[in-house]
């Protein structure tokens, strides 16, 4: 039960950060409040939520792209990255473009896993610094 409560609170933190809009969001330490996912399933769930909160406004709800920003899913979206590690490095270093590095590593890994999977990279276990360089573009 405690775990469920914490997860819900973490998700709210993610949503709060993502919805900062024009005003600087008071994150209240949201970065460190995000619980490290234990399994690939949890990581995918976190990735989907965090993507929705921090990326979808520019890249579209399913990564289809919008006027403001290119597609992230499909033939052109993700093919600059040879490995999931390259994708993580780019995303962590540059995105969200209005607030780079504003998310926690757990969120960046989760978003990378979520997008890599959508682009058919062979993500079959929780993505992290130890395995990402071995997960290659299909
Ligand atoms: C404020 C709008 C905005 C937000 C929010 C945003 N992006 Fe972007 N993103 C852009 C723009 C604009 C570009 C194109 C930048 C360029 O080409 O230099 C881009 C480019 C990218 C690219 C490279 C795409 C390619 O074709 O090379 C990736 C990957 C990416 N974003 C991922 C993300 C992720 C993941 C998030 C959420 C953590 C995110 N972005 C949030 C605006 C945004």
What whole-number distance in Å separates Cα of residue 19 and Cα of residue 24?
Answer: 10
Q: Which domains does the chain have, with CATH numbers?
A: 36-134 (1.10.760.10)
Å from CA of 109 to ligand 1 middle: 15
- CA dihedral angle for residue 17, residue 20, residue 21, residue 23, rounded to 10 degrees: -150
Average pLDDT over residues 52-56: 98
Å from CA of 120 to ligand 1 middle: 19
The mean pLDDT of the chain is 84
Residue nearest to atom 10 of ligand 1 (CA): 69
The whole-model pTM stands at: 0.82
What per-residue confidence (pLDDT) applies to 61?
A: 97
The string of pLDDT tens digits covering residues 59-118 is: 999 999 999 999 999 888 888 899 999 999 999 999 999 999 999 999 999 999 999 999
* Sheet strands (E) in 43-84: none
Å from CA of 8 to ligand 1 middle: 27
- CB 96, CB 108: distance < 8 Å: no
Report whether residue 69 contacts ligand 1, using a CB cutoff of 6 Å. yes
What per-residue confidence (pLDDT) applies to 11?
A: 45
Write out the two tokens for 23.
Answer: 């005003």
Q: What whole-number percentage of the chain has pLDDT above 70?
A: 77
Residue 23: band (very low, low, confident or very high) from pLDDT cuts 50, 70, 90 = very low
Rounded to 5 degrees, φ, ψ at 136 are -100, 155
């Amino acid at each position: 039960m405690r775990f469920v409560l914490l997860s819900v609170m973490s998700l709210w933190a993610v949503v709060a950060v993502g919805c900062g809009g024009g005003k600087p969001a008071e994150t209240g330490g949201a970065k460190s409040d995000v619980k490290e996912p234990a399994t690939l399933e949890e990581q995918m769930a976190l990735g989907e939520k965090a993507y929705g909160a921090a990326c979808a406004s520019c890249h579209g709800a399913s990564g289809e792209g919008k006027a403001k920003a290119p597609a992230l899913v499909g033939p052109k979206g993700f093919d600059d990255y040879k490995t999931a590690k390259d994708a993580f490095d780019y995303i962590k270093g540059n995105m969200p473009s209005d607030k780079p590095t504003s998310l926690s590593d757990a969120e960046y890994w989760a978003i990378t896993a979520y997008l890599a999977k959508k682009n058919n990279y062979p993500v079959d276990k929780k993505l992290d610094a130890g395995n990402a360089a071995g997960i290659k573009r299909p």
